[in-house]
Amino acid sequence: MTFMNDFDKGSYKNLIVWQKAMDLVDAVFDITEQYPKEHRYGIAAHTEKTTVSIPSNIAEGRRRGGDAEFRRFLSIAYGSGAELETQIEIAKRRLWGKNLDFTKIDKLLDEVMRMLNTLISQISKRTTALPATALPAN
C-alpha cells in the first residue's frame, strides 16, 4: 500500500500523509486552544510548532526532489511526530489535561506515524535498489 498519489508528479498536496498531517494540525490547534491561559506561551505554543513541522517537512522534502532528500525530511517529520506524542502525553498527565479529549489527536498521530514509517521504508527500498551512481550526492 502506498500513501502517495501521483508520487512522480512532485506535488506534496496530493500525498495522503501530508493531508492527514494537516488534519492533525487542525486537531492539535483545536485542543491547545483549550489549554489554560498560563500555558498558552509554553507547552501550547511548543506543541503547535511541533505539529506544524510535520506537514511542513513532508512538503519541503517532496519539493526538494530526489528520494534521498525526501527520505531525510520524512525522517525529520517522523521525529517531530515522536516529539508531539511526548508533548501530548505531558498534557494528559497535567490536572487540566485530564478533562480534555485527545482521542482524535491520538488516532491521527498514530495514522500519520504509520504512514511516515511505511513511506520511509518504501523509499529506502527503492533507493537501495538503484545502482550507487544513480543516487544523488549528499
pLDDT, one tens digit per residue, over 70-123 is: 999 999 999 999 999 999 999 999 999 999 999 999 999 999 999 999 999 999
Torsion, Cα of 91, 93, 98, 104 (10° steps): 50
Q: What kind of architecture, by CATH, is found in domain 21-127?
A: Up-down Bundle (1.20)
Q: What is the pTM of this model?
A: 0.85
Q: Spell out the domain ranges in the chain.
A: 21-127
Give the cell for residue 6.
Answer: 501521483
Q: How many residues does the chain have?
A: 138
Is 138 a residue whose pLDDT tops 50? no
